Amino acid sequence: MFIQLFTRKLVTLVIILIGLAVYFSGSTIEKTVTPVIENNLGAVITGIADKTTLDSNHFLVSRVVDGDTIVVKNASGREQKVRLIGINTPETVDPRKNVECFGKEASAKTEAMLLGKIVRIEQDDTQGKYDKYGRLLVYVFLENGELFNRLLIGEGYAYEYTYKLPYMYQKEFKEAEVIARQEEKGLWAIGMCGY
């Protein structure tokens, strides 16, 4: 929360400074100041995330929408909503549906593990780049290299979900769900969600 507030305040201050510089010095200063500000903003975002360098595969998780959808930010501050491939968590934000059993727990788990962290994302050519809602389709890897999509399934916060075509980690995800069901983890616990 503090990091997001600090970043917003910093961005607001930078915008005000650009406006003042342009007003007092003419538009030519904007061409000089803007790249410096963008680079500094990237440095601030990188610094927030334990000085891990953001590159084309590493992003700061700036928001959690629900258990299987997050928003990531690159070094220049651009945000992108992403959907985790191969999993589905119970709904919490779909306006057409009620909050589903174990949806709040799945969202809380994703938030606890990802919000404010640097993650590596990986795409899968078999799934296309974006879904029909414009979300980037990805696998998310934690700093320790663990595949977060599989972790959610294995701990019972999500179930395996194949959308039309098989995907790269499908076999692993299906196996993780079988084990989570056998061990009655999370949403598979006896008496939880009708199971």
Which residues are designated catalytic?
83, 91, 135
Nearest residue to 81 via CA among 61, 51, 107: 61
Handedness of CA 41, 43, 47, 49 (dihedral sign): positive
Lookup result for tokens 């879904």: 131
Exposure pattern of 108-140 as b/e (b: 16+ CB <10 Å)? ebbbebbbbbbbbbebbeebeeebeeebebbbb
Cβ neighbours of 36 (radius 10 Å)? 10
